[in-house]
Structure 1
Amino acid sequence: MSQQLPLISHLLELRNKLLRAIGSVLLVFICLVYWANDIYHYMAIPLMQSLPETSSMIATDVAAPFFAPFKLTLVLSFFVAIPYVLYQAWSFVAPGLYKHEKRLITPLLFSSTLLFYLGIAFAYYIVFPVVFGFFTSVAPEGVTVATDISSYLSFILKLFFAFGLAFEIPVAVVLMCWAGVTTPEELKQKRPYIVVGAFVVGMMLTPPDIISQTMLAVPMLILFEGGLIAAKLYTPKEDTDNEESKSESTDS
């Protein structure tokens, strides 16, 4: 019975953290939903600038003019609330971490949030204009480009998540090296395989066009090199544990 009480208390704590995270997303959504149509219009600017003057976006579904901006605002609310959501996750696992682990996790949480935002910004300001400009320019003669708003929303959300997650590569590299799974030297030796893997991942996460695949793979490779540099600044977990044990034995 005594073993069940800590488990129940942990589950209750986990539930509270999840409710707070969900509540933060809903709170941001309530604040933004009034401007849902304006938010969608802003997200549609890269495509609208690439469309011919006589063309525009369309809605093939009766409810699409309402649900598309609504869905986009909900996803945007999650993006905005990510720092608080990660903080709730951090506060749940922090009591079970060692002191040197806490020193590592704190900057990683900040950098992972920043990199996720940078990935989304890179997709919107750099990738979208190039991709949409290419798609509209290669349309066959006599074909009017008129994109459905629901299809456009699915397309941009897929790219947002793809680039947001891809920009987390430095964090993943640092974590693997710090935990002793691999070393920067070993990753350097596997660089040719990683280059191929980056283009494969770009092919899987982006639409089937070479432009968006390349524009995802190249930043992934650059971020990988940045992760190697950052990984050298952190001592592997085993070395840190040994240092702490030595210091404890010396003090005793």
Structure 2
Amino acid sequence: MDATPNIEDPINDKPMPLLEHLVELRRRLLYSMVAFLLMFAVSWYFARDIYAFLAAPLEGLLAQRPELQGAIIATGLTRPFLVYLKVAMFGGAFMGFPIFATQIWLFVAPGLYRSEKKALLPFLIATPVLFITGAAIAYYFVFPVAWKFFLSYFSGGGASGALAIKPQIDVNDYLGLVMKLLFAFGLTFEVPVLLTLLARVGIVSSKGLKRARRYAFVGMFVLAAILAPPDVYSQVALALLLVLLYEISIIVARFVEPKPVEA
């Protein structure tokens, strides 16, 4: 990179020793922690409502199968309290995500040129939007199908003489799966942001992403198999979303990557 100052494209940074950079980093981490605690407090107040929202997809399916007489159970005296604590922590992290991203931006921005700030600002805005979009797709499209698939293996017994298999779903296990999937799909939608940023600074290129396409697709299906529930629908849905986002990243990278300097 050319070290010659550019008057038309100024940089608002000033020389800082390592200790001052560490102090600034600590300040940003402190602000992020305060934001998380505030969001945690709000989530704790609405913990029952948040829990009801997260449990709604399963509750609706159980209501359609009265023969199952299923219920979400808590194994242990302290488990309900710990469940609401987990819900509040999840809400704090989920709602605090835009603030965390903003603090990272404020830490990095002083070292960027004006043109770089203009180029990166849309990514800062897109990050929380894409994260929420991914989580919403998991909640409204993946959960109903996946939960219906799993419940299809339960039975209420009856004329067939088969022994009834009725669900007694541990609330901690259920919420753990729900939160894992929400964050997995949310982070999946950050793939275009990450790859586009890497292309913008010249670390990757659209041609390089095309060449690596076949290996990336294999890795995406492996990642989907790890993150998604063990039903084929959820795994394929997540893998196809990753593939689609990767293809979008290639198109966007073509427009934002540095153009080769003509001799």
Distance in 2, matches of 1:205 and 1:153, equals 15
- Pairwise mapping of residues 154-193 of structure 1 onto structure 2 (< 5 A)? 154-193=176-215
User: Which is richer in helix?
Assistant: 1
Counterpart residue number, 2:36:
25
Q: Which moved more, 1:202-211 or 1:53-62?
A: 202-211
Counterpart residue number, 1:147:
169
Counterpart residue number, 1:204:
226
Q: Which runs of 4+ in 1 moved over 4 A?
A: none
Match of 1:87 among 99, 102, 106: 102
TM-score by length of 2: 0.83
Paired residues of 2:201 and 2:257 also in contact (CA < 8 A): no
Q: Which moved more, 1:148-157 or 1:79-88?
A: 79-88
What whole-Å deviation, never above 9, does each CA across 1:203-229 have from its counterpart, x for those lacking one?
A: 122233322211110111111121122
Counterpart residue number, 1:39:
50
TM-score by length of 1: 0.87
Counterpart residue number, 2:115:
100
Q: Structure 2 unaligned segments of length 5 or more: list them.
A: 1-15, 156-161
Q: SS where residue 230 of structure 2 aligns? A: coil
Aligned AA (1:187): L
Counterpart residue number, 2:257:
235
Q: Structure 1 unaligned segments of length 5 or more: list them.
A: 244-252
Q: Percent identity?
A: 40
Aligned AA (2:28): K
Cα RMSD for the two superposed structures = 1.9
Counterpart residue number, 2:240:
218
Q: Which moved more, 1:135-144 or 1:112-121?
A: 135-144
Q: Which moved more, 1:150-159 or 1:227-236?
A: 227-236
What whole-Å deviation, never above 9, does each CA across 1:116-159 have from its counterpart, x for those lacking one?
A: 11111111111110100000012365110121110011111111
Distance in 2, matches of 1:67 and 1:182, equals 44
Q: Which moved more, 1:140-149 or 1:123-132?
A: 140-149
CA gap of 1:173–1:8, structure 2 versus 1, over 3 A, is closer
- Pairwise mapping of residues 95-134 of structure 1 onto structure 2 (< 5 A)? 95-134=110-149
2:75 aligned with 1:60, yes or no? yes
Shift of 1:195: 2.3
CA gap of 1:13–1:209, structure 2 versus 1, over 3 A, is same
Paired residues of 2:43 and 2:87 also in contact (CA < 8 A): no
Shift of 1:234: 0.8
Paired residues of 2:36 and 2:93 also in contact (CA < 8 A): yes
Q: SS where residue 57 of structure 1 aligns? A: strand
Aligned AA (2:148): G
CA gap of 1:200–1:221, structure 2 versus 1, over 3 A, is same
